[in-house]
Amino acid sequence: MNTMVAAAALALLHLFGVSATRASSAQSSSSSPPAAAAAGISSCLLSNGVTNFSLPTSPSYTSLLDYSIRNLRFALPSVGKPAAVVLPSTKRDLQRAVLCARNTSLAIRVRSGGHSYEGLSYTTENHVPFVVIDLSNLNHVDVDPGTATAWVESGATLGEVYHAVGLSNRTLAFSAGSCATVGMGGHTAGGGFGLLSRKFGLSADNVLDAVLITASGDTLTRDTMHPDVFWAIRGGGGGSWGVVYA
């Protein structure tokens, strides 16, 4: 069971996204994704009402892909690039993006803050075609000071979380890291160590619920997912169980 952080700390109902399980090789013989893969996912997204995405032929593609890459060797032209960068703004968009990637046989890389120095959120191994689902538009933070809990979407950064918590109640805090641009999704999926952790535990220790989007597009909560899955998505590194939206 999770432990509610008492008094000066906020127990967070955390919405966090999972990242890929393995990093890409540093070099690729061809960095451009197959044109058929880009065309296929574009057609699927548009037919399902998802319009906020960028293809390799789009003027915004490179800037959207590179803006949060922290390890710049993964921004080199020789590194394989995704067939599309999708920026869902709703849970429905996220579900459709997952399904379209599956229907077009593309691997999924989910990016919260882009701080994966191994490139887990924007590369693949062995030239596997893939799509990046960028969660930066899913960054809403809803704090309930009365219960000392909050819902935080996966794309919210630590800075955005701390700001919302501080505005809601000056006596509340949340145990997480010290870098303001780290995404809550990847941070919590990896455990989430911070300055308050010695007293209040990791970020993952304070997760009370989650909404998981499975590979089939289904929505699971803590009550409906297997207990082992709920355990695994809190600190297990992500990538094997779906995309945690809420």
Share of the chain above pLDDT 70, in %: 87
pLDDT bracket for residue 88 (50, 70, 90): very high
Domain residue ranges in the chain? 13-18+138-244, 35-134
pLDDT in tens, 104-113: 999 999 999 8
CA-CA distance, 190 to 184, in Å (whole number)? Answer: 10
CATH architecture of structural domain 13-18+138-244: 2-Layer Sandwich (3.30)
Alpha helices in the chain (DSSP H): 35-47, 61-66, 91-103, 158-168, 184-189, 197-200, 227-232
- Res 29: pLDDT: 44
- Res 23: pLDDT: 35
pTM (global) more than 0.75: yes
Residue 18 has pLDDT above 50, yes or no: no
The answer as to CATH 3.60.15.10 being correct for domain 35-134 is no
Tokens 């032929």 found at: 57
- Res 239: pLDDT: 67
pLDDT in tens, 90-102: 999 999 999 999 9
**β partners of residue 108:** 131
pLDDT bracket for residue 65 (50, 70, 90): very high
Which of the residue ranges 27-36, 42-51, 118-127 has the most confident prediction, judged by mean pLDDT? 42-51
